[in-house]
Amino acid sequence: MASKSPVLDKALDLVKRRLAELEEERKRLERALAELGGSGARRRPGRPPGSGRNPGRPSKAASNGSSPRKRRRRRGGTRADQAVKLVEKKPGISASEIAKEWKISPNYL
């Protein structure tokens, strides 16, 4: 369909060229996203990026390239260990009874 105005022809040509540029840029960005491990526009379920305890600060592992920090080992005698020992001594004891014996809130237990 030929237009009757050279101005419209120029405008049409400019729009087509710009669309071609944008298409090339979209392809480059999709390649970059794929190389970075992204999955495209869809997000996977779960916690959004940066929603950890301190979202503004990268983890130490991320900042220095090393493996993640090792977690501290729990020391013996934790509440869980104490509860297991008490249940072994008194089979059938309830959580409420354990909490009363330890003088703590049942919710805490």
Segments making up each domain of the chain, as ranges: 1-40, 78-109
Residues 6+ away with beta carbon under 8 Å from 36: none
- What does the pLDDT look like over 23-45, one tens digit per residue? 999 999 998 888 888 765 555 56
* pLDDT of amino acid 11: 93
Give the residue among 80, 81, 73 at the shortest CA–CA distance from 109: 80
The larger pLDDT score, comparing residue 95 to residue 55, is at 95
pTM: 0.31
